[in-house]
Amino acid sequence: MTGRPYLAIPGPSPVPDRVLNAMHRASPNIYEGEIVEMTRGVVADLKRVACTDQHVAIYIANGHGAWEAAAANMFSRGDKALVVATGRFGIGWGETLRALGVEVALLDFGKSAPADPQRITDALRKDTAHQIKAVLVTHVDTASTARNDLRAIRAAIDAAAHPALYAVDAVATLGCDPLQMDDWGIDVVVGASQKGLMLPPGLAFVWVSDKALAASQSADLSTPYWNWRPRVVGAQFYQYFGGTAPTHHIFGLREALTMLLEEEGLDAAWHRHGRLARSVWAAFDAWAGEPSGIGLNIVEPAHRGHSVTAARIPQGGATRLRRWLEAEAGVTLGIGLGMALPAEPAYDDFLRVAHMGHVNAHMTLGALASMEAGMQALGIPHGAGGVDAAARAFSAAS
Protein backbone atom coordinates (compact mmCIF):
# COMPACT_ATOMS: atom_id res chain seq x y z
CA MET A 1 0.00 0.00 0.00
CA THR A 2 1.48 3.31 -1.01
CA GLY A 3 0.90 6.51 0.96
CA ARG A 4 0.57 6.76 4.70
CA PRO A 5 -1.69 4.23 6.41
CA TYR A 6 -4.24 5.80 8.72
CA LEU A 7 -5.08 3.90 11.87
CA ALA A 8 -8.48 5.28 12.90
CA ILE A 9 -9.07 2.94 15.84
CA PRO A 10 -9.74 4.38 19.31
CA GLY A 11 -6.26 3.76 20.63
CA PRO A 12 -3.48 3.49 19.93
CA SER A 13 -4.00 6.71 18.01
CA PRO A 14 -1.61 8.21 15.43
CA VAL A 15 1.71 9.23 17.00
CA PRO A 16 3.17 12.47 15.59
CA ASP A 17 6.54 12.08 13.87
CA ARG A 18 7.83 14.77 16.20
CA VAL A 19 6.99 12.58 19.18
CA LEU A 20 8.63 9.53 17.59
CA ASN A 21 11.71 11.60 16.76
CA ALA A 22 11.90 12.93 20.31
CA MET A 23 12.03 9.30 21.50
CA HIS A 24 14.69 8.32 18.98
CA ARG A 25 17.79 8.97 21.03
CA ALA A 26 20.33 7.40 23.34
CA SER A 27 19.34 6.32 26.82
CA PRO A 28 19.84 9.06 29.39
CA ASN A 29 21.34 8.87 32.86
CA ILE A 30 18.39 8.41 35.21
CA TYR A 31 20.26 9.56 38.32
CA GLU A 32 20.85 13.19 37.42
CA GLY A 33 20.62 15.64 34.55
CA GLU A 34 18.12 16.27 31.79
CA ILE A 35 15.52 13.59 32.45
CA VAL A 36 15.21 14.60 36.11
CA GLU A 37 14.65 18.23 35.16
CA MET A 38 12.33 17.31 32.31
CA THR A 39 10.11 15.22 34.57
CA ARG A 40 9.34 18.21 36.81
CA GLY A 41 7.98 20.11 33.81
CA VAL A 42 6.11 17.07 32.55
CA VAL A 43 4.36 16.64 35.91
CA ALA A 44 3.37 20.31 35.96
CA ASP A 45 2.05 20.10 32.40
CA LEU A 46 0.14 16.88 33.04
CA LYS A 47 -1.81 18.75 35.72
CA ARG A 48 -2.73 21.33 33.09
CA VAL A 49 -4.10 18.55 30.86
CA ALA A 50 -6.66 17.62 33.55
CA CYS A 51 -7.13 21.27 34.62
CA THR A 52 -6.00 20.65 38.18
CA ASP A 53 -3.62 22.23 40.68
CA GLN A 54 -3.63 19.09 42.82
CA HIS A 55 -1.61 15.90 42.15
CA VAL A 56 -0.73 13.40 39.43
CA ALA A 57 0.87 9.96 39.65
CA ILE A 58 2.53 8.33 36.63
CA TYR A 59 2.69 4.55 36.17
CA ILE A 60 4.38 2.37 33.58
CA ALA A 61 1.12 0.72 32.56
CA ASN A 62 -1.90 1.01 30.27
CA GLY A 63 -5.46 2.08 31.05
CA HIS A 64 -6.16 -1.17 32.90
CA GLY A 65 -3.17 -0.35 35.09
CA ALA A 66 -4.63 3.10 35.77
CA TRP A 67 -7.93 1.48 36.78
CA GLU A 68 -6.14 -0.79 39.23
CA ALA A 69 -3.94 2.00 40.56
CA ALA A 70 -6.97 4.17 41.30
CA ALA A 71 -8.80 1.26 42.91
CA ALA A 72 -5.86 0.22 45.10
CA ASN A 73 -5.62 3.71 46.57
CA MET A 74 -9.32 4.35 47.10
CA PHE A 75 -10.51 1.11 48.69
CA SER A 76 -9.94 -1.42 51.39
CA ARG A 77 -11.02 -5.05 50.96
CA GLY A 78 -14.79 -5.28 51.53
CA ASP A 79 -15.46 -1.57 50.85
CA LYS A 80 -18.33 -0.63 48.55
CA ALA A 81 -18.17 1.17 45.22
CA LEU A 82 -20.92 2.61 43.04
CA VAL A 83 -19.93 1.90 39.44
CA VAL A 84 -21.75 3.74 36.67
CA ALA A 85 -21.60 1.85 33.36
CA THR A 86 -22.48 3.36 29.99
CA GLY A 87 -20.84 0.71 27.80
CA ARG A 88 -18.11 -1.89 28.03
CA PHE A 89 -15.42 0.11 29.86
CA GLY A 90 -17.43 0.96 32.97
CA ILE A 91 -18.24 -2.75 33.30
CA GLY A 92 -14.52 -3.51 32.99
CA TRP A 93 -13.52 -1.08 35.73
CA GLY A 94 -16.17 -2.69 37.95
CA GLU A 95 -14.75 -6.16 37.21
CA THR A 96 -11.31 -4.94 38.27
CA LEU A 97 -12.75 -3.73 41.57
CA ARG A 98 -14.56 -7.00 42.22
CA ALA A 99 -11.41 -9.00 41.53
CA LEU A 100 -9.62 -6.86 44.11
CA GLY A 101 -12.28 -7.63 46.73
CA VAL A 102 -14.37 -4.47 46.51
CA GLU A 103 -18.16 -4.87 46.69
CA VAL A 104 -19.59 -3.33 43.52
CA ALA A 105 -23.06 -1.84 43.14
CA LEU A 106 -23.47 -1.51 39.38
CA LEU A 107 -25.71 1.13 37.82
CA ASP A 108 -25.83 -0.01 34.21
CA PHE A 109 -27.31 2.41 31.69
CA GLY A 110 -26.90 0.07 28.73
CA LYS A 111 -24.95 0.46 25.51
CA SER A 112 -26.45 3.53 23.92
CA ALA A 113 -27.13 6.23 26.51
CA PRO A 114 -25.35 8.30 29.13
CA ALA A 115 -26.06 7.96 32.85
CA ASP A 116 -29.17 9.46 34.42
CA PRO A 117 -27.75 11.52 37.32
CA GLN A 118 -30.99 11.18 39.30
CA ARG A 119 -30.41 7.44 39.67
CA ILE A 120 -26.96 8.17 41.11
CA THR A 121 -28.51 10.52 43.68
CA ASP A 122 -31.12 7.87 44.52
CA ALA A 123 -28.50 5.14 44.98
CA LEU A 124 -26.37 7.34 47.21
CA ARG A 125 -29.35 8.47 49.32
CA LYS A 126 -30.10 4.84 50.15
CA ASP A 127 -26.57 4.46 51.49
CA THR A 128 -27.33 6.25 54.75
CA ALA A 129 -24.38 4.58 56.51
CA HIS A 130 -22.02 6.01 53.86
CA GLN A 131 -20.49 2.64 53.06
CA ILE A 132 -19.92 3.61 49.43
CA LYS A 133 -16.37 4.94 49.30
CA ALA A 134 -16.35 6.12 45.68
CA VAL A 135 -18.53 6.68 42.62
CA LEU A 136 -16.79 5.55 39.41
CA VAL A 137 -17.82 7.02 36.06
CA THR A 138 -16.48 6.63 32.52
CA HIS A 139 -16.37 10.04 30.83
CA VAL A 140 -16.71 8.68 27.30
CA ASP A 141 -17.14 4.95 27.04
CA THR A 142 -15.02 4.02 24.04
CA ALA A 143 -17.28 1.10 23.13
CA SER A 144 -20.66 2.87 23.10
CA THR A 145 -19.10 6.34 22.58
CA ALA A 146 -21.67 7.74 25.04
CA ARG A 147 -20.43 10.78 26.95
CA ASN A 148 -21.47 11.44 30.51
CA ASP A 149 -22.16 14.91 31.85
CA LEU A 150 -19.51 15.01 34.58
CA ARG A 151 -20.77 18.26 36.11
CA ALA A 152 -24.30 16.91 36.38
CA ILE A 153 -22.96 13.80 38.11
CA ARG A 154 -21.02 15.95 40.59
CA ALA A 155 -24.27 17.77 41.32
CA ALA A 156 -26.03 14.41 41.72
CA ILE A 157 -23.49 13.31 44.34
CA ASP A 158 -23.87 16.65 46.13
CA ALA A 159 -27.66 16.38 46.02
CA ALA A 160 -27.34 13.21 48.11
CA ALA A 161 -24.93 15.00 50.48
CA HIS A 162 -22.74 11.90 50.21
CA PRO A 163 -19.01 12.03 51.04
CA ALA A 164 -17.92 9.41 48.45
CA LEU A 165 -14.94 10.16 46.24
CA TYR A 166 -15.77 10.92 42.61
CA ALA A 167 -13.52 9.04 40.18
CA VAL A 168 -13.58 9.41 36.39
CA ASP A 169 -12.10 7.25 33.63
CA ALA A 170 -10.97 9.84 31.08
CA VAL A 171 -8.71 7.55 29.05
CA ALA A 172 -10.67 8.30 25.87
CA THR A 173 -11.23 11.99 26.48
CA LEU A 174 -8.11 13.71 27.84
CA GLY A 175 -6.93 16.22 25.25
CA CYS A 176 -10.12 15.65 23.21
CA ASP A 177 -13.29 16.44 25.21
CA PRO A 178 -13.37 19.22 27.82
CA LEU A 179 -12.64 17.97 31.34
CA GLN A 180 -11.89 20.26 34.28
CA MET A 181 -11.00 18.22 37.31
CA ASP A 182 -10.87 21.00 39.91
CA ASP A 183 -13.78 23.12 38.67
CA TRP A 184 -15.98 20.07 38.28
CA GLY A 185 -15.14 18.63 41.72
CA ILE A 186 -13.59 15.38 40.54
CA ASP A 187 -11.33 13.54 43.00
CA VAL A 188 -9.62 10.99 40.77
CA VAL A 189 -9.07 11.03 37.00
CA VAL A 190 -7.46 8.12 35.17
CA GLY A 191 -5.79 8.40 31.78
CA ALA A 192 -3.36 6.62 29.49
CA SER A 193 -0.77 7.73 26.97
CA GLN A 194 -2.04 6.19 23.74
CA LYS A 195 -5.24 8.11 23.00
CA GLY A 196 -5.66 11.88 23.02
CA LEU A 197 -2.16 12.30 24.43
CA MET A 198 -0.60 11.05 21.17
CA LEU A 199 2.00 8.64 22.57
CA PRO A 200 2.50 4.91 22.20
CA PRO A 201 0.83 2.79 24.91
CA GLY A 202 2.92 2.43 28.05
CA LEU A 203 2.11 5.25 30.47
CA ALA A 204 -0.86 5.46 32.81
CA PHE A 205 -1.78 8.60 34.72
CA VAL A 206 -3.87 9.05 37.84
CA TRP A 207 -4.73 12.58 38.92
CA VAL A 208 -5.53 12.80 42.62
CA SER A 209 -7.32 15.46 44.69
CA ASP A 210 -6.21 16.44 48.18
CA LYS A 211 -9.34 14.73 49.48
CA ALA A 212 -8.49 11.47 47.69
CA LEU A 213 -4.88 11.64 48.82
CA ALA A 214 -5.98 12.00 52.44
CA ALA A 215 -8.56 9.20 52.12
CA SER A 216 -5.97 6.85 50.63
CA GLN A 217 -4.04 6.73 53.93
CA SER A 218 -6.45 4.05 55.11
CA ALA A 219 -6.92 2.12 51.82
CA ASP A 220 -5.55 -1.35 52.53
CA LEU A 221 -5.58 -2.55 48.89
CA SER A 222 -2.60 -0.31 48.26
CA THR A 223 0.68 -2.13 47.57
CA PRO A 224 4.21 -0.71 47.25
CA TYR A 225 4.09 -0.47 43.46
CA TRP A 226 0.55 0.90 43.10
CA ASN A 227 0.61 3.28 46.08
CA TRP A 228 0.22 6.72 44.55
CA ARG A 229 1.70 8.70 47.47
CA PRO A 230 5.44 8.31 46.69
CA ARG A 231 4.71 9.04 43.01
CA VAL A 232 2.82 12.19 43.95
CA VAL A 233 5.21 13.58 46.53
CA GLY A 234 8.34 12.07 44.90
CA ALA A 235 11.11 13.09 47.30
CA GLN A 236 13.51 10.91 45.30
CA PHE A 237 13.36 10.83 41.50
CA TYR A 238 12.92 7.03 41.29
CA GLN A 239 9.82 7.31 43.47
CA TYR A 240 7.91 9.07 40.69
CA PHE A 241 7.98 5.79 38.79
CA GLY A 242 8.39 3.14 41.45
CA GLY A 243 11.79 2.36 39.93
CA THR A 244 13.48 3.09 36.61
CA ALA A 245 11.88 6.00 34.78
CA PRO A 246 10.14 5.27 31.44
CA THR A 247 12.87 7.33 29.81
CA HIS A 248 11.84 7.41 26.17
CA HIS A 249 8.16 7.79 26.96
CA ILE A 250 9.09 10.88 28.98
CA PHE A 251 10.95 12.33 26.00
CA GLY A 252 7.91 11.64 23.83
CA LEU A 253 5.48 12.96 26.41
CA ARG A 254 7.46 16.20 26.72
CA GLU A 255 7.08 16.75 22.98
CA ALA A 256 3.39 15.79 22.93
CA LEU A 257 2.58 18.12 25.84
CA THR A 258 4.40 20.99 24.13
CA MET A 259 2.34 20.40 20.99
CA LEU A 260 -0.94 20.12 22.91
CA LEU A 261 -0.53 22.84 25.53
CA GLU A 262 1.91 25.40 24.09
CA GLU A 263 1.46 25.23 20.34
CA GLU A 264 -2.19 24.32 19.83
CA GLY A 265 -3.63 25.00 23.28
CA LEU A 266 -6.05 22.78 25.14
CA ASP A 267 -9.12 24.84 24.24
CA ALA A 268 -8.20 24.71 20.56
CA ALA A 269 -7.66 20.94 20.76
CA TRP A 270 -11.09 20.50 22.33
CA HIS A 271 -12.57 22.67 19.61
CA ARG A 272 -10.79 20.71 16.86
CA HIS A 273 -12.14 17.43 18.18
CA GLY A 274 -15.68 18.82 18.34
CA ARG A 275 -15.43 20.00 14.77
CA LEU A 276 -14.11 16.69 13.47
CA ALA A 277 -16.75 14.80 15.44
CA ARG A 278 -19.56 16.89 13.93
CA SER A 279 -18.16 16.15 10.47
CA VAL A 280 -18.29 12.41 11.12
CA TRP A 281 -21.83 12.64 12.50
CA ALA A 282 -22.97 14.66 9.49
CA ALA A 283 -21.68 11.98 7.11
CA PHE A 284 -23.51 9.25 9.01
CA ASP A 285 -26.70 11.29 9.14
CA ALA A 286 -26.62 11.50 5.33
CA TRP A 287 -25.81 7.81 4.93
CA ALA A 288 -28.63 6.96 7.35
CA GLY A 289 -31.25 7.93 4.77
CA GLU A 290 -33.88 5.19 4.42
CA PRO A 291 -33.69 2.33 3.81
CA SER A 292 -30.02 1.89 4.62
CA GLY A 293 -30.37 1.07 8.32
CA ILE A 294 -27.10 2.89 8.91
CA GLY A 295 -27.04 4.89 12.11
CA LEU A 296 -25.02 6.27 14.97
CA ASN A 297 -25.10 4.41 18.24
CA ILE A 298 -25.83 7.52 20.30
CA VAL A 299 -28.89 9.35 19.04
CA GLU A 300 -28.56 12.65 20.90
CA PRO A 301 -25.53 14.72 19.75
CA ALA A 302 -24.99 16.18 23.22
CA HIS A 303 -24.52 12.64 24.53
CA ARG A 304 -21.75 11.73 22.06
CA GLY A 305 -18.02 11.78 22.73
CA HIS A 306 -15.81 13.90 20.50
CA SER A 307 -12.91 11.46 20.03
CA VAL A 308 -14.64 8.36 18.67
CA THR A 309 -17.98 7.50 17.05
CA ALA A 310 -19.72 4.10 17.18
CA ALA A 311 -22.08 3.29 14.34
CA ARG A 312 -24.14 0.50 12.83
CA ILE A 313 -24.06 -0.64 9.21
CA PRO A 314 -26.46 -3.59 8.98
CA GLN A 315 -26.26 -6.93 7.17
CA GLY A 316 -22.61 -7.35 8.09
CA GLY A 317 -21.82 -4.12 6.25
CA ALA A 318 -19.59 -2.79 9.01
CA THR A 319 -17.09 -5.66 8.87
CA ARG A 320 -17.15 -5.80 5.06
CA LEU A 321 -16.49 -2.08 4.88
CA ARG A 322 -13.64 -2.28 7.41
CA ARG A 323 -11.96 -5.02 5.38
CA TRP A 324 -12.36 -3.11 2.12
CA LEU A 325 -10.91 0.05 3.66
CA GLU A 326 -7.83 -1.81 4.87
CA ALA A 327 -7.25 -3.52 1.55
CA GLU A 328 -8.09 -0.67 -0.80
CA ALA A 329 -7.73 2.63 1.03
CA GLY A 330 -5.08 2.37 3.75
CA VAL A 331 -7.65 3.18 6.43
CA THR A 332 -8.17 0.97 9.48
CA LEU A 333 -11.39 1.58 11.40
CA GLY A 334 -12.19 0.18 14.84
CA ILE A 335 -14.27 -2.92 15.42
CA GLY A 336 -17.58 -2.57 17.21
CA LEU A 337 -16.71 -3.30 20.83
CA GLY A 338 -19.13 -4.86 23.29
CA MET A 339 -22.18 -4.42 21.06
CA ALA A 340 -22.37 -8.12 20.18
CA LEU A 341 -20.15 -11.14 20.79
CA PRO A 342 -17.68 -11.99 18.01
CA ALA A 343 -19.58 -15.24 17.31
CA GLU A 344 -22.90 -13.46 16.80
CA PRO A 345 -23.89 -12.25 13.32
CA ALA A 346 -24.68 -8.78 14.73
CA TYR A 347 -20.98 -8.40 15.57
CA ASP A 348 -20.38 -7.57 11.91
CA ASP A 349 -22.91 -4.73 11.98
CA PHE A 350 -20.87 -2.40 14.21
CA LEU A 351 -17.75 -0.32 13.77
CA ARG A 352 -16.11 2.71 15.32
CA VAL A 353 -14.44 5.65 13.64
CA ALA A 354 -11.78 7.26 15.81
CA HIS A 355 -11.00 10.98 15.47
CA MET A 356 -8.70 11.13 18.45
CA GLY A 357 -5.42 12.89 19.15
CA HIS A 358 -3.10 13.73 16.26
CA VAL A 359 -5.83 14.12 13.61
CA ASN A 360 -6.91 16.87 11.28
CA ALA A 361 -9.51 17.50 8.60
CA HIS A 362 -7.80 15.74 5.74
CA MET A 363 -7.42 12.58 7.81
CA THR A 364 -11.02 12.50 9.03
CA LEU A 365 -12.64 13.76 5.83
CA GLY A 366 -10.36 11.40 3.89
CA ALA A 367 -11.49 8.46 5.98
CA LEU A 368 -15.14 9.43 5.43
CA ALA A 369 -14.66 9.78 1.66
CA SER A 370 -12.93 6.39 1.63
CA MET A 371 -15.85 4.92 3.55
CA GLU A 372 -18.30 6.28 1.01
CA ALA A 373 -16.20 4.84 -1.82
CA GLY A 374 -16.18 1.50 -0.04
CA MET A 375 -19.95 1.48 0.40
CA GLN A 376 -20.32 2.19 -3.31
CA ALA A 377 -17.84 -0.54 -4.25
CA LEU A 378 -19.48 -3.10 -1.97
CA GLY A 379 -23.05 -2.17 -2.87
CA ILE A 380 -23.88 -1.31 0.75
CA PRO A 381 -27.14 0.68 0.72
CA HIS A 382 -26.55 4.21 1.98
CA GLY A 383 -28.05 7.66 1.69
CA ALA A 384 -26.26 10.00 -0.70
CA GLY A 385 -24.11 12.98 0.14
CA GLY A 386 -22.19 11.88 3.23
CA VAL A 387 -18.91 13.43 2.12
CA ASP A 388 -20.61 16.65 1.12
CA ALA A 389 -22.40 16.83 4.48
CA ALA A 390 -19.12 16.23 6.33
CA ALA A 391 -17.35 18.96 4.38
CA ARG A 392 -20.18 21.39 5.10
CA ALA A 393 -20.16 20.52 8.80
CA PHE A 394 -16.43 21.09 8.96
CA SER A 395 -16.51 24.39 7.11
CA ALA A 396 -19.50 25.66 9.10
CA ALA A 397 -17.87 24.99 12.48
CA SER A 398 -14.79 27.15 11.96
Ligand X SMILES: *Cc1c(COP(=O)(O)O)cnc(C)c1O
Annotated binding site: 352
The site string for ligand X over 358-397 (x = CB under 6 A, - otherwise) reads: ----------------------------------------
21: amino acid identity, one letter:
N
The site string for ligand X over 142-171 (x = CB under 6 A, - otherwise) reads: x--------------------------x-x
Residue 110 gets the label, from left (phi > 0), alpha (psi -120 to 50) or beta, of: left
Nearer to ligand X, 73 or 138 (CB): 138
Binding test (CB under 6 A) with ligand X, winner from 64, 151, 211, 392 = 64
The site string for ligand X over 10-49 (x = CB under 6 A, - otherwise) reads: -x--------------------------------------
Binding test (CB under 6 A) with ligand X, winner from 81, 172, 188, 311 = 172
Query: Which of 179, 396, 187, 116 lies closest to 307, judged by CA?
Result: 179
284: amino acid identity, one letter:
F
Distance (Å, whole) CA 253 – CA 196: 12
Nearer to ligand X, 86 or 209 (CB): 86
Nearer to ligand X, 310 or 365 (CB): 310
If you write DSSP's letter for every residue of 246-259 in order, what string do you get? -HHHHHHHHHHHII
Residue 51 gets the label, from left (phi > 0), alpha (psi -120 to 50) or beta, of: left
Known binding residues for substrate are 352
The answer to whether the beta carbons of residues 142 and 350 sit under 8 Å apart is no
Stretch that binds ligand X, among 58-66, 126-134, 255-263, 273-281 (CB under 6 A): 58-66
Distance (Å, whole) CA 245 – CA 236: 12
User: Contacts with ligand X in 241-270 (CB under 6 A)?
Assistant: none
Binding test (CB under 6 A) with ligand X, winner from 6, 59, 75, 89 = 89
372: amino acid identity, one letter:
E
Nearer to ligand X, 192 or 393 (CB): 192
Nearest position to ligand X, beta carbon: 63
CB of 327 to ligand X, least distance (A): 26
CB of 63 to ligand X, least distance (A): 2
Q: Are strands 308-312 and 350-354 parallel, antiparallel or unpaired?
A: antiparallel
CB of 84 to ligand X, least distance (A): 13
CB of 1 to ligand X, least distance (A): 26
First to last CA, the chain: 33
Cα separation values, 141 from 65, 100, 154, Å: 17, 22, 18
Distance (Å, whole) CA 368 – CA 354: 11
Distance (Å, whole) CA 325 – CA 79: 47
Our finding on whether 201 is near ligand X (CB under 6 A) is yes
Stretch that binds ligand X, among 45-53, 60-68, 178-186, 318-326 (CB under 6 A): 60-68
Binding test (CB under 6 A) with ligand X, winner from 52, 54, 55, 63 = 63
3-state secondary structure (DSSP) of residue 334: strand
Binding test (CB under 6 A) with ligand X, winner from 15, 123, 192, 389 = 192
CB of 85 to ligand X, least distance (A): 11
Stretch that binds ligand X, among 62-70, 75-83, 215-223, 374-382 (CB under 6 A): 62-70
CB of 61 to ligand X, least distance (A): 8
| Order of strands, sheet of 203-208, starting from the edge strand that comes earlier in the sequence | 55-60, 203-208, 188-192, 165-169, 132-138, 80-85, 103-108
Cα separation values, 227 from 187, 233, 235, Å: 16, 11, 14
CB of 131 to ligand X, least distance (A): 26
The answer to whether the beta carbons of residues 39 and 236 sit under 8 Å apart is no
Nearer to ligand X, 169 or 177 (CB): 169
Cα separation values, 127 from 30, 105, 109, 115, 123, Å: 48, 11, 20, 19, 7
Binding test (CB under 6 A) with ligand X, winner from 138, 227, 309, 364 = 138
Distance (Å, whole) CA 130 – CA 153: 18
Point out which residues bind ligand X (CB under 6 A). 11, 62-64, 89, 138, 142, 169, 171-172, 192, 201
